[in-house]
Amino acid sequence: MNCGLIDAITAFGTLFATLLLAVFAIWGDFIKDMLFGPRLELSLVDRCGDRITRRNGQDVVYYHLRVKNRRRSAAKSVQVLMQGMSRRISNGTFVPDKIVYPLPLVWTPAEMKQSSRDVFGTSTCDFGFIDLLSPGFEVATQLRPNNFKGSVHAGESVRFEIIASGENVYFTKPLVLEVSWDGNWIDKPIEEHLVIRQVESLTSI
């Protein structure tokens, strides 16, 4: 091999190594998080919910979501966001409802009023609740815009698409839950009246 070719290969190798070092210096944390960073998984804790009695004697059933980090690295400043919803119409199909911006759900316990939290292993947030004083199932969003139709009334079925987001979280599969309520409350177990099931998408059959 002649000296000119060797010099060219050496120069190219040096240039490539320099560029690679520059890329890692600028984007190192991003690349590390992409390859080895936290992976969050969302699931419904219990389709039967958690039934409690308030101080005023009113029964209420709360439903929660589990946020599980499958990696050892902490997921930083995580929010669980309700980013889409659809409603069943008379022909049985689901039609998307407009949401202007994703709405964060409430971390438990709600009294801590956290807008975000770091997730190391498993954490929990509120999904929604139902009681006799509400018109139906209410999604537990921290904010409730005037045009937000996040209630599930008697005879309705509504789907909610939920995702987890954070400073170093790049991959989260959306969780889509379908909530149906027949309008009844106490003559049978609540899970026979308010049915929550996981589905593939907001509009799948």
Q: Residue range 22-32: average pLDDT?
A: 47
In terms of pLDDT, which residue wins out, 169 or 41?
41
Q: Among the listed ranges 7-21, 31-45, 168-182, which one has the minimum average pLDDT value?
A: 7-21
Amino acid 53: pLDDT: 83
Amino acid 187: pLDDT: 64
Amino acid 172: pLDDT: 83
SS3 for the chain, per residue? CCHHHHHHHHHHHHHHHHHHHHHHHHHHHHHHHHHHCCCEEEEECCCCCEEEECCCCCEEEEEEEEEEECCCCCEEEEEEEEEEEEEECCCCCEEEECCCCCEEECECCHHHCCCCEEECCEEEEEEEEEECCCCCEEECECCCCCCCCCEECCCEEEEEEEEEEECCECCECCEEEEEEECCCCCCCCHHHHEEEEEECCCCCC
> What is the residue extent of each domain of the chain?
1-36, 39-199
**Residues 48-91: tens digit of each pLDDT:** 999 888 777 788 899 999 999 988 889 999 999 999 999 999 99
- Quickly name the fold that domain 39-199 has: Immunoglobulin-like (2.60.40)
pTM listed for this prediction: 0.81
**Residues 41-50: tens digit of each pLDDT:** 999 999 999 9
Indicate whether 94 pLDDT > 80: yes
